[in-house]
Each structure stands twice: as C-alpha cells, then as structure tokens.
Structure 1
Amino acid sequence: MATQPREESANMGKSTWLAFAVHILTASGALWALLAMVAAADRDWPMMFAWLGVALVVDGVDGPLARAANVTEKLPTWSGAALDFVIDYATYVLLPAFAIATAGLMSSPYNLIASGLVVVSGALYFAYEGMKLPDNCFRGFPVTWNMLVFVIFAFPGLQAYSLAIIVVFVALTFAPVRFVHPVRVKRLRPLTLAVAIVWLGSAFVAASDGMQAQGLTGIGLAGSSIYLLVIGALFQLSDRMRARSAE
C-alpha cells in the first residue's frame, strides 16, 4: 500500500515536467526570433522568414500540446498565454515591421510610418481581450504580419502598393471581421489545415527560390493566402444570412 502514494507522486512529477516541456517549446520561439533578427540585420530576408516560419509552426502546435498536457492545471503559476503573447509579438509583429522599415519596400518616411503603424496596432491588438470569439475565430486581422509581409516580398508586383496594403490591414485589425485560426476553428478544419499546409509549403519553396513565388508556387501561395484571409468573413456572412432567414 505504501508504494501507491509514491507511484502517484512519480506520475505527478512526470506530468508536471511534461507540462513544463510544452512551455519550453513555446519559449523556443524567442530563439527563432533571435535567429530571425540576426538574419534581418544581415538583410538575409529568405533566412529571416525561414526562422519566422519555424516559429509559426511551433506556435501552431504548442497550443494543442498544452491542452493535451493540461498545462494550466499542472503549472498554475506559469502563464502560457503571457509567454505566447511575448513570443508572438516578436515574431508576428516586430520583426516583420523591421523588414518593412529596412528592406526598401517603400521610400522614407513612408517605411517608418508603415512600420510604426504595424507595431502600434499590433501592441494594441495583443491587449484586446475580445480578440477571440466563441467559435475560436479572431475578431479583426490577427496581426499575422509575418505572413502578409512575406507575401508582399514574394510577389514583387505588390510592393508598389505595400503602403496601401499595410494601411488597409491595420484598419482591419480593429474591424468587426472574423479571421480563422487554422487549428482551433472546427468549421471546415480539415480543409483549412490542408490550405495552411499548402501555404507553408509554397512559402518554403518561394523562400528557397530567393523570395520569388512563380508558377505553381505562386498559385499555391496566392490561393492559400486568399482562402485564409476571407474564409472567416465568409463564415460570418453565412451566419448572418442564416440568422435573418430564421427570423
């Protein structure tokens, strides 16, 4: 009988360390951000976006792992949400804004104006407690500037309109429009996950080709980007139409 408490204590210790390992995985995003920063300082934009891609994948898997490991209950004094916000601001907002400011996408002072709008709107968005809706969609553009700025880099034709594009998406940050979370939104989740994988694969090929999205790579990157941008709004429109027809 004396061995039972010891076994329970050992199992509790293992589960606690497993939960902490998930926090370490999330915190590794700081390392990927640092490596992306070093690449950005060298103006090595493909490598910068490659490290941001690693951080993006980590951010996509650490949430489900945290829920599976019951991190909140096992480690109540460690805030996974706070840790996630720190990493996400660096990788989703700050580093892409640095690229906007220094990569020559637009002339001065417009580059500083655009990057300033990105960092300020991004900071405000992370402070907004209403960003997550009951269906796990985001309310407003979820400041995924790492993805948007990559697309601008990969399609040179967009660079002439980069300031206008950035201003529009800054405005969408505060708009009552839904954007999907590819992992958490259950509606069409298999399709959305498949599209997200297409986006990552296309982005990898484009980065490997000197930040050029051509041929099938361009089609895959453009099509998946459009889907991920508009599918949440289509869900929202569909729900409104159903509500009106039910009245």
Structure 2
Amino acid sequence: MEQTPTTVRTDFTRLDQLKAWGVHAFTASAVIWAGCAVLALMRRDYLQMWGWLAISLIVDGLDGTLARHCRVKEVVPWFDGSALDLIVDYLTWTFIPAIFMSQTLVFAPGTPGKGMDLLVTEVLMVAVCASSMFCYCNKKAKSSDNYFVGFPAAWNIVILYLYLMALPWWFNLAIVLLFIVLTLSPLTFCHPFRVEKLRWLNIVSVVIWLACIVWLTVYFPERNPLIWWGSWISGIYFIGNGVVRTFVGPQAMRKKSS
C-alpha cells in the first residue's frame, strides 16, 4: 500500500517564530546561570553557587512544557532544542555538582583533600561525569509512560544531600558508587511534570521538596526538624514512586506475560 507523505506545516506566523525562539532563549539562559554558578564555585561561595543552580533547575522544569505548548519542533525544525537542553543539563545537573563534590566531600580516611582522599575523590569525579554520559546519550532513557529508566544523572540532588548530611567518608563513598551503578540499571525514576499518573501529587511533592531544600541550604548547618523531615519524606516519595513503577509498570507487565 502506498503511504501518503507526511504534510509539514509552513504557514507559521512571525509571532509563532518569536515564541519558539523565545523558548530556545529561555532554555539557553541556563548557560548564564551555570556560568554564574562556576564563578561562585571558584570563589567557594557555595550558597550562591546553589542559588544559581536552583534558578537553572526552575528553567529546566519549565522549558519542556513551554516548548511543547509553542510547538518549537514544528516552527523551527532545523534548530535542535533537545541538544541545547542536554548541554545545559550536563553542566548544571552533573558537571558543576561533580566539581563541588571534589571540593567539599570526603571519600577516604586520612587528611581531607590529600593522599588517599584526593586520589579517590578525583577518580569518583571522573566516574560521575563519565557514567552520566550514558544517561544523556541513551535513547531508551525514557519509558513509554515518561519515567526515567536508570538514574537520570541528577547529581545536583545527590551531592547536595550528602553535603547537608555531613556524614562519614564511607557513607559518601557508598552512596556515590551506588548511584553510578544505578545509572545503568532498569530502576525507574519519576519525572514530576511528564508522568501523568498522580501528576498533581508529583508536582506538589516536588514543590515541597524544593522549598525545604532551599531552606536547608540557606540556613546550613542549622536543621529545622520539620523542614528536614519534609525534604526526606518528599524525596523518599519520588524514589518510592520509581521503585514501585519498576515492578508494576508497562515494561514489567510485558516481561511477566511473555
């Protein structure tokens, strides 16, 4: 049977084009916040660094919805907004947090920043950056119902928690190694804006988590018990959501039926 060629729209208005480029500019603005975060990191002004990364996180949370609403792939088909988004994500979710990790966390016994700790830290930093490349290049990194498959290189979240908890070196080492391994695992992780199931609860949870983590970062090392547990409960909800989805989601059901 002869297939009918797909019709490509070419009648978009100047306003449509302005909206599409505005979305791309909004996504690209995260590079500015990433640059500001690097400058703050070089000054070891960690609070300011996390502030800039928080702004980039908000941009990352909104740009996909705006892109779909403005139909940027149809309006400007020759400009790859997905590639732009991946570049920004790698900088803000992985690379800058990995450098922060190398400056602030301890991963071996002995003098921090020297000897064995320095060697292990450098190896871990490279491992974090290298393993994350699999996530960003993996075309199967999203499930059919928009969950992430494998740890989605959200090192900004993992490393910030380790920093706030200030736990022993062996705990830091175990957690970082665990999430490096989870990058290659079939474990799923919830995307709060793309997953349709319980979307309202996912969004409410992520808003609560973000508010709690901002408070804890600003007032570090002070820990308000209510805020501290709020960050953990909302965070555990997301991890638990993904774990449950791993065993009862579409892919899991197909494996059981086959």
The structure carrying a bigger helix percent of its residues is 1
Q: Distance in 2 between matches of 1:103 and 1:129?
A: 33
1:208 is matched with which residue? 218
Q: Distance in 2 between matches of 1:73 and 1:101?
A: 42
Partner amino acid, structure 2, of 1:237: F
Q: Distance in 2 between matches of 1:67 and 1:236?
A: 27
The verdict on how the C-alpha distance between 1:31 and 1:213 changes in structure 2, with shifts beyond 3 A counting, is farther
CA contact (8 A) 1:154 1:213 kept: no
How much has 1:97 moved relative to structure 2?
A: 0.5
TM-score normalised over the length of structure 1: 0.90
Within the candidate set 180, 194, 206, 2:204 is matched to: 194
How much has 1:230 moved relative to structure 2?
A: 2.4
How much has 1:229 moved relative to structure 2?
A: 1.9
CA contact (8 A) 1:137 1:185 kept: yes
Q: Distance in 1 between matches of 2:63 and 2:119?
A: 38
Paired residue secondary structure (1:102):
helix
Are 2:15 and 1:14 equivalent residues in the alignment?
A: yes
1:116 is matched with which residue? 126
Q: Distance in 2 between matches of 1:158 and 1:180?
A: 29
Could you give the per-residue CA deviations for residues 42-96 of structure 1, whole angstroms, max 9, x where no partner exists? 1122221111111111100000000000000001111010000000000011001
Residues 14-93 of structure 1: pairs in structure 2 closer than 5 A: 14-93=15-94
1:163 is matched with which residue? 173
CA contact (8 A) 1:140 1:175 kept: yes
CA contact (8 A) 1:46 1:211 kept: no
CA contact (8 A) 1:152 1:159 kept: no
Paired residue secondary structure (1:109):
helix
CA contact (8 A) 1:183 1:193 kept: yes
2:6 is matched with which residue? none
2:146 is matched with which residue? 136
How much has 1:236 moved relative to structure 2?
A: 2.3
1:172 is matched with which residue? 182
CA contact (8 A) 1:153 1:211 kept: no
Q: Distance in 2 between matches of 1:175 and 1:73?
A: 34
Provide the alpha-carbon RMSD of the alignment.
2.1
How much has 1:239 moved relative to structure 2?
A: 3.5
Partner amino acid, structure 2, of 1:55: S
- 192-201 or 107-116, larger mean C-alpha shift: 107-116
- 166-175 or 103-112, larger mean C-alpha shift: 103-112
Any gaps of 5 or more consecutive residues in structure 1? 1-7
The verdict on how the C-alpha distance between 1:17 and 1:244 changes in structure 2, with shifts beyond 3 A counting, is closer
Partner amino acid, structure 1, of 2:103: T
Could you give the per-residue CA deviations for residues 103-124 of structure 1, whole angstroms, max 9, x where no partner exists? 1433211111211110000112
Q: Distance in 2 between matches of 1:91 and 1:208?
A: 19
How much has 1:182 moved relative to structure 2?
A: 0.8
CA contact (8 A) 2:104 2:163 kept: no
Any gaps of 5 or more consecutive residues in structure 2? 1-9, 108-116
Relative contact order (alpha carbons < 8 A, sep ≥ 6): 1 or 2 greater? Answer: 1
How much has 1:212 moved relative to structure 2?
A: 4.5
Q: Distance in 1 between matches of 2:243 and 2:172?
A: 23
Count of aligned residue pairs for this structure pair: 239
How much has 1:246 moved relative to structure 2?
A: 7.8
What is the percentage of aligned positions where both structures have the same residue? 29
Q: Distance in 1 between matches of 2:171 and 2:221?
A: 18
Q: Distance in 2 between matches of 1:221 and 1:158?
A: 21
Partner amino acid, structure 1, of 2:94: V
